[in-house]
Amino acid sequence: MSAQELLAILPLLIISAGIVILLLQVSFWRGHRGALATTILTLLLAIISCFWVTGNLLGDVSSIQVTALLLVDHTSLFFCLLLFLTAVSISIMGFNYLRLRCDPRGVSASYPEEFYILLLLAMLGASTLIFANHFATFFLGLELISLALYPMLGFAVTGEISSKSEQLQSLESAIKYLILSALSTALGLFGIALIYSASGSLDFNAIASRMTELSQSSTLFATGITLLLISVAFKLSLVPFHIWTPDVYQGAPTPTTALIATVGKGAVIGFLLRFFNTLDLFGSEVLIDMLAIAAIASMLVGNLLALMQANIKRLLAYSSISHIGYLIVAFLIGKSTFGTEAVIYYLVAYIVTTLGGFAVVGLVADATEENILSGKHPQEFLIDAKNPYHREFYRGLLWRSPWLASCFAAMLLSLAGIPLTIGFIGKFYVFTAGVEGQMWILLGGVVVGSALGLFYYLRLLLIMVQRNETAETNSNGTLVIATSGQFLIATLTGALLLFGIFPQILINWINAL
């Protein structure tokens, strides 16, 4: 491997080195804040390396092939940058979540340092998946993410301070994800085996060189691609492979839920873009029709089921299902420059708003839990406070915490696609992509799904505005969010409004890829 190739995969090397350093650090000195500092420093160095590698991809060098396994280009580096920034936010959410499960000396019964090791492992898998140009690295990246998520989903089980119900729900989400993820992985591996049997290669470029012959005569190849897409659809929670999503989202620790909803899905979308562009699968009418049906079903089923949810995390779970359906509409336009731009912009909008929504929900629950543990909540307020994820808990939030309610309102309006938010620009891209591709049935699904989504987002906004006399009359029921959490929410809200009011900034970055 040449020096140029080593420098091209510098983000992967930095994340790998960070994992080793954190493991050694934890071996000699356990400390929650120290683990957080090492994690954020590793992610920041990886972010800087993305800019540095991008600066070297100038002129005639638009991409660097690192052996047959990895391909580094501007688009993959942008995806890595986006996911690394997301991981910084999730590490801050994780710190606030785990802080309550530590004693005053910082020695935790649930060993919070392990959370950051698993987070970096998930990021290593995500970046490997994005750079993948071979089925070996695709499988390695996908399984690294999954293997890190299994213990993260059940993380509350190891905490003695966690309530019994929280531990049981966390364990349930981990087991469900483990079983169903294993099933989807088996289908994906079988699909890869069929593709290899038909093409004689696992390298994307080698398979692409035989695409004309394979697409016309090989039933094995078509079956293999179909099984692979089913496995990918599971990771994206596309209907009808979404059944695990609401239960896993509800039971998992909120930072882990945010990780699955953003990093897990963003990495898979990055892989799909490369895979479809390299093999030119946009010309396959059967595959396009399958994805179109899944997109319509996801938009309608996701929004319809979200209407019936009283649990905020389940509501956001079904919301994420519908939003991935919207994103697939932009994806189906093909490999045109506008199609790629629409997918990336909507993905950025989805990650910012979804991460912001889960950040608010998680930090509100953490603040409530802290008030309960410290005895600050009066007895009459505990009835609502015991379930901070219930929709009714947010009644009167505007009067208890105006700033927090305003930020959450911005997130909900962005998810609904209201103007002056990044979600509106993302939804506009989806509509434009649908019109350009003349996908009128899909556009009809987008319109109906958006109308349904608008109802339950605005219903939650109305609940926040309505007064809750019990909570308002008790000053001890006020939610006090940690400084790091306030900074995170303010940053995400600022990005949401900045790219919504001045979308050209982000558009120029995407067009520079």
Confidence of residue 102 (pLDDT cuts 50, 70, 90): low
Confidence of residue 446 (pLDDT cuts 50, 70, 90): confident
Over residues 42-62, the pLDDT tens digits come to 999 999 998 888 887 765 567
Q: For 143, phi and psi rounded to 5 degrees? A: -75, -30
Q: For 450, phi and psi rounded to 5 degrees? A: -65, -40
Query: Distance between CA 377 and CA 475 in Å, rounded?
Result: 9
Contact 68/203 with Cβ under 8 angstroms?
yes
The two tokens of residue 268 are 């898979």
The two tokens of residue 165 are 């119900």
Query: Distance between CA 350 and CA 344 in Å, rounded?
Result: 10
Q: Around 369, how many Cα atoms within 13 Å sit in the side-chain half-sphere?
A: 18
Confidence of residue 153 (pLDDT cuts 50, 70, 90): confident
Q: Around 349, how many Cα atoms within 13 Å sit in the side-chain half-sphere?
A: 37
Is the bond leading into 255 cis (omega within 30 degrees of zero)? no
Q: In this predicted model, which residue has the larger pLDDT, 111 or 103?
A: 111
Q: Mean pLDDT lowest for which of 132-136, 278-282, 296-300?
A: 278-282
* 274 lies in some domain: no
How crowded is residue 107: how many other Cβ atoms within 10 Å of its Cβ? 12
* 202 lies in some domain: no
Is pLDDT above 70 for 272? yes
Considering the chain, what is the average pLDDT of its residues?
84
* 137 lies in some domain: no
Place of tokens 């070297």: 56
* 322 lies in some domain: yes
Sign of the dihedral through C-alpha 449, 453, 456, 459? negative
- Amino acid identity of 261? A
Q: Could you list the residue range(s) of the whole structural domain that residue 318 is in?
A: 284-513
The two tokens of residue 203 are 């390298």
Q: In this predicted model, which residue has the larger pLDDT, 286 or 297?
A: 297
User: Which among 14-18, 463-467, 507-511 has the top mean pLDDT?
Assistant: 14-18
Is pLDDT above 50 for 507? yes
* 292 lies in some domain: yes
Confidence of residue 403 (pLDDT cuts 50, 70, 90): confident
Query: Distance between CA 214 and CA 218 in Å, rounded?
Result: 5
Over residues 154-204, the pLDDT tens digits come to 876 665 556 677 778 878 888 888 888 889 899 999 999 999 888 888 888
Confidence of residue 390 (pLDDT cuts 50, 70, 90): confident
* 352 lies in some domain: yes
Percent of the chain with pLDDT over 90: 31
Angstrom distances, CA of residue 31 to CA of 44, 91, 178 = 20, 15, 29
What pLDDT score does 382 carry? 43
Over residues 297-307, the pLDDT tens digits come to 999 999 999 98
Is pLDDT above 50 for 269? yes
Q: Mean pLDDT lowest for which of 187-196, 370-379, 409-418?
A: 370-379
* 194 lies in some domain: no
- Pick from 395, 413, 404: nearest CA to 456: 413
Grouping H, G, I as helix, E, B as strand and the rest as coil, residue 203 is strand
Is pLDDT above 60 for 360? yes
* 201 lies in some domain: no
Task: Work out whether strand 70-73 and strand 63-66 pair parallel, antiparallel, or are unpaired.
Answer: antiparallel
Contact 353/411 with Cβ under 8 angstroms?
yes
Confidence of residue 383 (pLDDT cuts 50, 70, 90): very low
What pLDDT score does 381 carry? 44
The two tokens of residue 13 are 């090397």
Is pLDDT above 50 for 374? yes
DSSP 409-422: HHHHHHHHT-TTSH
Angstrom distances, CA of residue 405 to CA of 383, 453, 490 = 21, 19, 12
- Give the count of domains, the chain: 1
Query: Distance between CA 455 and CA 438 in Å, rounded?
Result: 27
- The pTM for the full model equals 0.90
How crowded is residue 438: how many other Cβ atoms within 10 Å of its Cβ? 9
Query: Distance between CA 422 and CA 375 in Å, rounded?
Result: 40
Mean pLDDT of 348-363: 91
Confidence of residue 80 (pLDDT cuts 50, 70, 90): very high
